[in-house]
């Protein structure tokens, strides 16, 4: 598959949809974590002779939610956006400057795409777009 290359304007135009999808992922991930914790607690008190009735239900709910989350991540991939963080809703938009690949970086809660980083730098290397030298 060919890598889509976003301009800042193109990335910002996709944000209403990306924001909704990322919010669904982050919310779903929080619910999934809670279900997994509850499942672990239910199975800790369960034995082969006395299985916990909730454990099965919790496991099925967690698995269903995991499939939903994977589907949301797939929606982002179809848009050409790379999902990077379940807790903070971090995404990267592939881009380039002077033919060099970079990422435009956005996090849930930010009003627009305002940061970028080198492909190998990750979120720790985020820099303001005003520092992007073409």
pTM: 0.88
d(CA 111, CA 18): 12
Query: Among 62, 60, 61, 79, which Cα is nearest to 21's?
Result: 79
- Taking the CA of residue 119 as centre, how many other CA atoms within 13 Å lie in the half-sphere pointing to its CB? 9
In tens, the pLDDT along 45-100 reads: 777 777 777 888 999 999 999 999 999 999 999 999 999 999 899 999 999 988 89
Residue 133: what pLDDT? 57
For residue 104, what are the CA distances in angstroms to 23, 62, 66, 115, 133? 19, 32, 27, 6, 13
Q: Is 118 exposed, middle or buried (0-12, 13-18, 19+ CB in 10 A)?
A: middle
Token reading at 52: 């916990």
Mean pLDDT of the chain: 91
Residue that the structure tokens 């848009």 belong to: 79
Across 119-126, average pLDDT? 86
Asked if 113 and 93 touch (Cβ cutoff 8 Å), the reply is yes
Across 114-130, average pLDDT? 89
* 122: Cβ contacts below 8 Å, ≥ 6 apart: none
Residue that the structure tokens 């795409």 belong to: 113
Which of 4-8, 33-37, 127-131 has the lowest average pLDDT?
Answer: 127-131
Query: 2 pLDDT band (50/70/90 cuts)?
Result: low
The residue ranking higher by pLDDT, 53 or 127, is 127
Q: What percent of the chain has pLDDT over 70?
A: 96
Across 6-11, average pLDDT? 95
């Amino acid at each position: 598959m060919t890598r889509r290359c976003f301009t800042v304007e193109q990335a910002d135009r996709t944000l209403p949809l990306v924001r909704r999808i990322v919010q669904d992922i982050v919310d779903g991930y929080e619910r999934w974590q809670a279900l997994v914790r509850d499942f672990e607690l239910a199975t800790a008190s369960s034995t082969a002779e006395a299985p916990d009735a909730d454990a099965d239900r919790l496991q099925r709910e967690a698995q269903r939610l995991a499939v939903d989350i994977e589907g949301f991540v797939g929606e982002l991939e179809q848009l050409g956006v790379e999902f990077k963080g379940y807790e903070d809703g971090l995404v990267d938009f592939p881009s380039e400057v002077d033919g060099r690949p970079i990422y435009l970086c956005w996090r849930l809660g930010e009003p627009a795409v305002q940061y970028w980083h080198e492909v190998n730098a990750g979120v720790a290397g985020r820099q303001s777009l005003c520092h992007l030298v073409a």
